[in-house]
Amino acid sequence: MYEDMTYETIIGRMLDRVPNGLDKREGSLIYTALSAAAAEMQVMYIEFDTILKETFAETASRENLIRRAAERGMEPSPATNAVFKAVADPESVTVELGQRFRLGIYYYTVTKIIGNGIYQLTCETAGTVGNRQVGRLVPVETISGLTSIELTDLLIPGEDEEDTEAFRKTYINSFMEKSFSGNRKDYLDKTNGIPGVGATKITRAWNGPSTVKLTILDSNYNKASDLLIQTVQDAMDPAMSGNGDGLAPIDHVVTVDTAEEIKIQMKCTLEYESSYEEEDLKAQIKEAAESYLKELRASWEGLGDHGCVVRISQIEARILALEGIYDIKNTQINGAAENLELNKNQIPVYGGIEIDSRS
């Protein structure tokens, strides 16, 4: 707003107010006195501009955006820790709660003993970096009788701290749609606010009056684990009684489940460079297809009562964008040469590709 208020503009306006009969050339007493004031006024206008930007949520820096949002009782979601399933060998070995293990540069702590050599471990480093590790663990302290212990499954993904632009959008959207106890916005806010949950669909009166079904995905937009489902169930309505013991309103009987995975198996005829091996192409196509399917899963919540549509045109476009591929035709999804429409409680996952002989 004040970008035009430069030093030159300010001192020019000040000199214009000095009578012409006085010496106001550069280096004169009047010019020297006014130049110092003009420099300070330029700094003042720069600060005015900063204050204006920091006043409004749309342009505020992260620090002042958090201060503004705090007035509505809002704050960025903090980083959370990934939770894994680990399997010990032999299963009869005793691994105590709180014992620590290392995999690469990350450390993990036993937080629950499931039984039969199966444990729940939490990554000590918060954020999505903790989601990437699976494999054999090294105990920090010697455990008698332990032959090996290995991380096998990611149960609850870790999440990074909510970034500035995502939080800005959340704050601004809070004025657009009001959250009241038991309405759709309230359920979405509470469920998606549970660590590890990335998306939620709500089915009202799915099993009679006052029943609510929450269908969730994890924060990687994959099918939720049993542990995450139970965590959300315990938070919302632990006994599924409607007594109001959780976050759900009294008389709302809440059931939590996850989406059904539908494997997307593709078949196509490709024309590609002779120097490429088919298996190398399949690896590249898998990466491109998984990226597209994750985009669909990320949009799943916003589709409401509709499901994802896996489009042949999109698959072909992603494959054609790969280096070395000249043409694609005869593309099929799950045996049909047409788009695949899923229902609202289904999500697409990569199921492989069959490449016909090169044309």
Using alpha carbons, list the distances in angstroms from residue 258 to 113, 153, 352: 24, 17, 23
Query: Exposure of 79 by Cβ count < 10 A (0-12 exposed, 13-18 middle, 19+ buried)?
Result: middle
- Peptide bond just before 90 cis, omega within 30 deg: yes
Nearest to 219 by CA among 83, 353, 74: 83
- Residue 349 sits in which domain range? 261-356
Cβ within 8 Å of residue 100, ≥6 positions away = 107, 108, 109, 110, 124, 139, 140, 141
pLDDT at res. 313:
95
Q: Is position 22 within any domain? A: yes
Structural contact between residues 109 and 103, judged by C-beta atoms closer than 8 angstroms: no
Instruction: Clarify whether residues 281 and 344 are in a common domain.
Output: yes
Token couple for 118: 């199966």
Q: Is position 169 within any domain? A: no
Structural contact between residues 310 and 262, judged by C-beta atoms closer than 8 angstroms: no
CA atoms within a 13 Å half-sphere pointing along the CA-CB vector of 215 = 22
pLDDT at res. 245:
86
Instruction: Clarify whether residues 277 and 296 are in a common domain.
Output: yes
The residue count of the chain comes to 359
Q: Is position 339 within any domain? A: yes
pTM (two decimals): 0.79
Q: Is position 206 within any domain? A: yes
Residue 250 sits in a domain of what CATH number?
A: 3.30.300
Amino acid at 200: T
Q: Which residue ranges of the chain lie beneath pLDDT 70?
A: 357-359
pLDDT at res. 358:
58
Instruction: Clarify whether residues 93 and 11 are in a common domain.
Output: no
Instruction: Clarify whether residues 150 and 209 are in a common domain.
Output: no
Instruction: Clarify whether residues 269 and 352 are in a common domain.
Output: yes
Instruction: Clarify whether residues 266 and 338 are in a common domain.
Output: yes
Q: Is position 72 within any domain? A: no
Report the DSSP pairing between strands 197-204 and 253-258: unpaired
Structural contact between residues 86 and 151, judged by C-beta atoms closer than 8 angstroms: yes
Q: Which of 258, 277, 297 is at the close of a domain?
A: 258
Structural contact between residues 65 and 76, judged by C-beta atoms closer than 8 angstroms: no
Instruction: Clarify whether residues 90 and 119 are in a common domain.
Output: yes
pLDDT at res. 359:
45
Using alpha carbons, list the distances in angstroms from residue 286 to 103, 283, 291, 347: 27, 5, 8, 17
Q: Is position 23 within any domain? A: yes
Q: Which of 203, 232, 258 is at the close of a domain?
A: 258
pLDDT at res. 50:
87
Instruction: Clarify whether residues 276 and 247 are in a common domain.
Output: no
Instruction: Clarify whether residues 244 and 268 are in a common domain.
Output: no
Cβ within 8 Å of residue 42, ≥6 positions away = 5, 6, 7, 10
Distance CA 38, CA 157 (A): 56
Q: Is position 163 within any domain? A: no
Structural contact between residues 150 and 108, judged by C-beta atoms closer than 8 angstroms: no
Q: Which of 258, 289, 323 is at the close of a domain?
A: 258
Instruction: Clarify whether residues 223 and 196 are in a common domain.
Output: yes
Instruction: Clarify whether residues 265 and 349 are in a common domain.
Output: yes
Report the DSSP pairing between strands 346-356 and 260-272: parallel
Q: Is position 253 within any domain? A: yes
Instruction: Clarify whether residues 222 and 266 are in a common domain.
Output: no
Q: Supply the DSSP symbol for 177.
A: S
Specify the number of domains making up the chain. 4
pLDDT at res. 243:
83
